[in-house]
């Protein structure tokens, strides 16, 4: 038996024909997914995935987690790092970044009974990845031997029963991208996602190069997915056609439109024709955004995400295309974990956690209603957006106040509140925040006027 990289004894490697056959079987067993939700730190978490699965998404990736930290973690720690799933959450790929073969395998073994594959992140461009030697840092040619070792170690481990997939970015030189991709295939990768942009920060917003993705697709024998530059259902279809990939993976555009994978004719539209998303348009109307928010919150009550911040970021993104930015600041009214909404020391599995989340979701609904009223989408008196999507009840507010915060007081960031109170703040900050703060103030004044009227009436 030959000595492999890192001096380990090379384990049994299957012939290429069998590896490729297995890769395609794996793809077919997952139902031959065409539309994939990308891994997104803090965003492709369980409730968001469940929402996407109801709207045409065939396969989801978890947010990236650090194999080093994850390996050996308890259930509680895994949940805090972002790993949560349930029976409906399949097919699922769990993504890790890693810098040693042992960590990656250990992390993979921990999740193998609750997912369909594990993915190795080979493209994260952030400076912490570059400094830490993981993600995009492994694209450096002098690190390819390590990438090979990580994959081989996992793919030939008899105890790992699920396949390993990879997600890469392209290089400036297509020939180098092809060499990298072929090396991954040879090392045992069963499914490759190619993000058609380079790692270089200056090029992050450049158009994705689908022609480079197509070259990889044509050169490999395993299934390949294309990622980058898809903003609508039409462009997803165009991407599939131009790259000839089996699937298309989307990140940013799904955050704004979770129904992106539905043909426009199948996507739910709002009653008011003037508020619906035009055919082929990537941006949903505000009315659709409000519906998406309420649907997401309904799922959060059942399967709470770990962090309130994740939920708020989703709501902001879902409304961002259509609501005024200053109104979106109202979402800050619901404090994040650190600000008392969920006690820091509460177990991720504590039953009280769901009770807290019910209240948090009610608060978010209150805020979304306030925005909807302000934008003229519904009246103060309306009780729901749709019979199955009720607004929050102001009933929860006194209870929340009892817990130590009030919606009105938390209606702005600390500096915005200082501004509202007339306390001194820097001139530059004051100018930047003035409009935002006034909008918050007027919304809450309107909300409390209406509550006072209701109380007087009863």
SS (H, E, C) 293-316: HHHHHHHHHHCCCCCHHHHHHHHH
Tokens of 37: 């939700």
Token look-up 């294309």 returns 226
Q: For residues 262-281, which are near ligand FMN according to CB under 6 A?
A: none
Among candidate residues 37, 97, 115, 124, the one labeled active-site is 124
Q: Which is nearer to ligand FMN, 43 or 433 (CB)?
A: 43
Applying CB under 6 A, does 121 fall inside the site for ligand FMN? yes
CB contact at 8 A, 364 and 297: yes
Applying CB under 6 A, does 251 fall inside the site for ligand FMN? yes
Strand partners, 122: 168
What's the closest the beta carbon of residue 36 comes to ligand FMN, in angstroms? 10
Stretch that binds ligand FMN, among 249-257, 292-300, 333-341, 347-355 (CB under 6 A): 249-257
Applying CB under 6 A, does 250 fall inside the site for ligand FMN? yes
Instruction: Provide the mask over 220-239, with x wherever binding to ligand FMN is found by CB under 6 A and - wherever it is not.
Output: -------xxxx---------
Q: Which is nearer to ligand FMN, 253 or 331 (CB)?
A: 253
CA distance 389 to 361: 12
Tokens of 118: 């594990």
Applying CB under 6 A, does 63 fall inside the site for ligand FMN? yes
Tokens of 213: 């993705």
Applying CB under 6 A, does 318 fall inside the site for ligand FMN? no
Applying CB under 6 A, does 289 fall inside the site for ligand FMN? no
With CB under 6 A, what is the number of residues at the site for ligand FMN? 21
- Angle at Cα 407 formed by Cα 405 and Cα 408, nearest 5°? 110
What's the closest the beta carbon of residue 236 comes to ligand FMN, in angstroms? 10
CB contact at 8 A, 268 and 259: yes
Q: For residues 142-161, which are near ligand FMN according to CB under 6 A?
A: none
Binder among 64, 71, 164, 329 for ligand FMN (CB under 6 A)? 64
What's the closest the beta carbon of residue 215 comes to ligand FMN, in angstroms? 18
Nearest Cα neighbor of 420 from 443, 451, 447, 453 is: 443
Length of the chain: 458
Q: Which is nearer to ligand FMN, 97 or 443 (CB)?
A: 97
- Angle at Cα 121 formed by Cα 119 and Cα 123, nearest 5°? 145
CB contact at 8 A, 31 and 25: no
Instruction: Provide the mask over 194-213, with x wherever binding to ligand FMN is found by CB under 6 A and - wherever it is not.
Output: -x------------------
Nearest Cα neighbor of 121 from 89, 90, 159, 164 is: 164
293 carries an active-site annotation: no
Stretch that binds ligand FMN, among 83-91, 182-190, 250-258, 347-355 (CB under 6 A): 250-258
Applying CB under 6 A, does 49 fall inside the site for ligand FMN? no
Token look-up 């409000």 returns 290
* Alpha-carbon distances of 34 from 43, 92, 166, 284, rounded to whole Å: 21, 14, 17, 22
Residues that are catalytic: 124
Which residues contact ligand FMN (rule: CB under 6 A)? Answer: 38-41, 43, 63-64, 95, 121, 123-124, 167, 195, 227-230, 250-253
């Amino acid at each position: 038996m030959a000595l492999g990289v890192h001096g380990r004894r090379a384990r049994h490697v299957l012939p290429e024909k069998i590896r490729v056959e297995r890769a395609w079987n794996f793809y077919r067993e997952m139902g031959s997914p065409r539309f994939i939700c990308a891994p997104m730190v803090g965003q492709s978490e369980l409730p968001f995935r469940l929402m996407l699965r109801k709207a045409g998404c065939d396969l989801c990736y978890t947010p990236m987690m650090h194999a080093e930290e994850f390996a050996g973690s308890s259930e509680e720690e895994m949940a805090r790092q972002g790993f949560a799933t349930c029976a409906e959450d399949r097919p699922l790929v769990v993504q890790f970044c890693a810098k040693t073969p042992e960590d990656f395998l250990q992390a993979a073994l921990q999740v193998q009974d609750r997912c369909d594959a594990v993915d190795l992140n080979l493209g994260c461009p952030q400076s912490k990845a570059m400094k830490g030697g993981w993600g995009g840092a492994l694209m450096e040619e002098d690190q390819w031997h390590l990438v090979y070792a990580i994959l081989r170690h996992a793919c030939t481990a008899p105890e790992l029963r699920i396949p390993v997939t990879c997600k890469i970015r392209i290089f400036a030189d297509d020939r180098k991208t092809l060499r990298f991709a072929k090396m991954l295939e040879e090392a045992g990768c069963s499914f490759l996602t190619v993000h058609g942009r380079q790692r270089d920060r200056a090029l992050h917003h450049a158009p994705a190069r689908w022609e480079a993705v197509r070259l990889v697709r044509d050169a490999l024998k395993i299934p390949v997915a294309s990622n980058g530059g898809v903003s609508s259902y039409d462009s997803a279809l165009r991407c599939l056609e131009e790259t000839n990939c089996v699937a298309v993976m989307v990140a940013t555009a799904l955050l704004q439109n979770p129904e992106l994978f539905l043909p426009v004719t199948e996507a739910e539209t709002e009653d008011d024709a003037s508020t619906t998303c035009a055919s082929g348009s990537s941006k949903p109307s505000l009315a659709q955004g409000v519906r998406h928010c309420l649907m997401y919150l309904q799922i959060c009550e059942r399967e709470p995400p770990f962090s309130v911040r994740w939920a708020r970021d989703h709501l902001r993104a879902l409304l961002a295309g259509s609501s005024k930015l200053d109104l979106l600041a109202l979402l800050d009214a619901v404090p994040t974990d650190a600000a008392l909404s969920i006690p820091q020391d509460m177990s991720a599995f504590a039953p009280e956690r769901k009770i807290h989340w019910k209240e948090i979701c009610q608060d978010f609904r209150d805020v979304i209603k306030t925005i909807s009223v302000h934008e003229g989408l519904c009246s103060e008196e309306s009780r729901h957006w749709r019979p199955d999507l009720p607004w929050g009840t102001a009933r929860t507010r006194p209870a929340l106040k009892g817990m130590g915060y009030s919606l009105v007081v938390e209606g702005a960031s600390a500096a915005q509140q200082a501004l509202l109170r007339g306390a001194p703040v820097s001139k530059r900050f004051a100018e930047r925040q003035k409009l935002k703060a006034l909008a918050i103030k007027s919304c809450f004044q309107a909300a409390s006027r209406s509550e006072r009227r209701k109380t007087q009436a009863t």
